[in-house]
A and B are shown apart, each in its own frame.
Chain A
Amino acid sequence: MDYRIEVEDLNVYFGESHILKDLNLKIRKNRVTSLIGPSGCGKSTFIRTLNRMNDLIDTFKHDGSVLLDGTDIYDPKIDVVDLRKKIGMVFQKPNPFPKSIFDNVAYGLRVHGISDKDVLTEKVEESLKAAALWDEVKDKMDMSAMGLSGGQQQRLCIARTIAVNPEVILMDEPASALDPISTVKIEDLVHKLKKDYTIIIVTHNMQQATRVSKYTAFFLNGEIVESGLTDKLFLEPEDKRTEDYITGRFG
């Protein structure tokens, strides 16, 4: 199967508000897909629908289907907790726990039943290396994560997410709260990670989309206007609205 996630005729409502309208999108395995579009047009809502974080909101309703490897994630038989092991999320604002660096990365592992100190230490080191943070923190694993810089905290959050071995990683504007140097580090990280994970990244920054992703979907007012290969979308957009957005006429 080439597609890790298939979204079919998805509509999302919060109470009376119709936020996402008739979305259809296929996410390719082991590739990076960007979601671009002006603020408030549903990109974050969309990815939160993919790992069922929207379930936390009382007024959330949906119809249509979201298939992960062929199975609808909203099927009542599906265990949300397991789903979130498979689909991880990195948030816009880095949100490490007020715990040590080690405990942050080990958190997901412990929660899923791994308590062997050696196994944990090994996996924590592995994840921090994969997140390009190991060298900077290997001597201060017991230090509080709150003492790290913004960029380091975000890489820590990525390490934390990777540690549970997800298949998909959702990133909601992961670098927007960071300085340019950290942003570059995060983008490099995304490049590194795509071999092993399917990545969906929401971004405001069109250059970032062209730099990191093979595929892009353009969101406008809760709809996907156009999606496809990044290069094609940016150089030869099919829809006028896409062209207007890309050339900076709005958003």
Chain B
Amino acid sequence: MNLNRIISPKIAQRIMKGLFWASGIITILILLVIIGYILYKGLPVVNMSFIFSNPIDSGRSGGIFPFIISSLYVTFIAILVATPLGVGAAVYLAEYAGEGTIVKLIRFGAETLASIPSIVFGLFGLAFFVVYLGLGWCVLSGGLILALMALPTILQVSEVSLEAVPKSYREGSLAIGATKWQTIYQVVLPAGIPGITTGVILGLARAISEAAAILFAVGAALSVPISIFDPARPLPLHLYIIATEGISLDNAYGTAAVLVILVLIITVVTNTLVERYSRKMMGR
């Protein structure tokens, strides 16, 4: 503030405002440049045959069909496992738990789990699922690891969503003589579905983007996985392999473009859901 004599507050205000605007615009530009370039180079490669045919010559040409299937398969397993566990834990925290030490530990556990680097999950997955449990390199191992990574997200978002359900709903149900679980199952959970769905989608987004965590858990197959014990190669992993081993730049662009489009779709879907959900909540 001693600068008041050198730069008047009004001028300082104008300069800072300019800087603020610049930062916002720079951030938008960064995103536009990155996805713009990838889509620009990658979209021409993406067509029906790219999506639906198999890779030729280890991915030097051909399509990415097995990798799309791998991604879907692994993500599906991850969500299948993580959702009941995450929502169950959320229900416990929102409806049954007090504020004791166990609860604090659970929250700390979820927070920590959310911050563990993906490569550490990769190591764990290898040591535990692949080796110790003997599952080998397959869809199941990858899916289980991703389930653990998606779990905290689903838990935290679902808990918030359940806690937002008005107390009056519960009271209304209990007053009719329903039991606690009946109330939760028939009233609270349905009311929390929009928020829970958002949480699941966010968890799904995390799972679909992961590569480091499943690097040593899924093998590196080039074919479509059929059983959950078949090895797989989800899209991010495929991109990593063909980019770093210089196999096919075009296909790399194409794979990257597909991933970017997936992210855009997920972002748009989540946003529309959240907007509709909050409008519904406000309307009450």
Question: Which A residues contact B (CB, under 8 angstroms)?
Answer: 79, 81, 110-113, 115
Find chain B residues with CB under 8 A from A113 CB: 1, 4-5, 9
14 A-B residue pairs with CB within 8 Å = A79-B10, A81-B9, A81-B10, A110-B1, A111-B1, A111-B9, A112-B4, A113-B1, A113-B4, A113-B5, A113-B9, A115-B1, A115-B2, A115-B4
| CB-nearest residue of chain A to B8 | A113
Complexed CA–CA distance, A112 and B9 (Å): 8
Prevailing SS type, chain A contact patch: loop
Q: In the complex, how many angstroms separate the beta carbon of B7 from the nearest chain A beta carbon?
A: 11
How many pairs, one residue from A and one from B, have CB atoms within 8 Å of each other in the complex?
14
CB within 8 Å of A: which of B1-22?
1-2, 4-5, 9-10
Find chain B residues with CB under 8 A from A115 CB: 1-2, 4
Complexed CA–CA distance, A79 and B8 (Å): 13
Complexed CA–CA distance, A169 and B10 (Å): 24
Find chain A residues with CB under 8 A from B9 CB: 81, 111, 113
Please give 12 more A-B residue pairs, beta carbons under 8 A apart, in addition to A113-B5, A115-B4.
Answer: A79-B10, A81-B9, A81-B10, A110-B1, A111-B1, A111-B9, A112-B4, A113-B1, A113-B4, A113-B9, A115-B1, A115-B2
Q: In the complex, how many angstroms separate the beta carbon of B68 from the nearest chain A beta carbon?
A: 47
Find chain B residues with CB under 8 A from A79 CB: 10
6 shortest interchain CB distances as A-B pairs = A113-B4, A115-B2, A110-B1, A115-B1, A113-B5, A111-B1
Q: In the complex, how many angstroms separate the beta carbon of A217 from the nearest chain B beta carbon?
A: 35
| CB-nearest residue of chain B to A115 | B2
Q: In the complex, how many angstroms separate the beta carbon of A176 from the nearest chain B beta carbon?
A: 31
Find chain B residues with CB under 8 A from A81 CB: 9-10
Find chain A residues with CB under 8 A from B5 CB: 113
Find chain A residues with CB under 8 A from B2 CB: 115
Find chain B residues with CB under 8 A from A110 CB: 1
Query: Which of A79, A81, A112, A113 has its CB near the most chain B CB atoms (within 10 A)?
Result: A113
Find chain A residues with CB under 8 A from B10 CB: 79, 81
Complexed CA–CA distance, A113 and B12 (Å): 13
Complexed CA–CA distance, A115 and B2 (Å): 6
Q: In the complex, how many angstroms separate the beta carbon of B280 from the nearest chain A beta carbon?
A: 24
Complexed CA–CA distance, A81 and B5 (Å): 17
Find chain A residues with CB under 8 A from B1 CB: 110-111, 113, 115
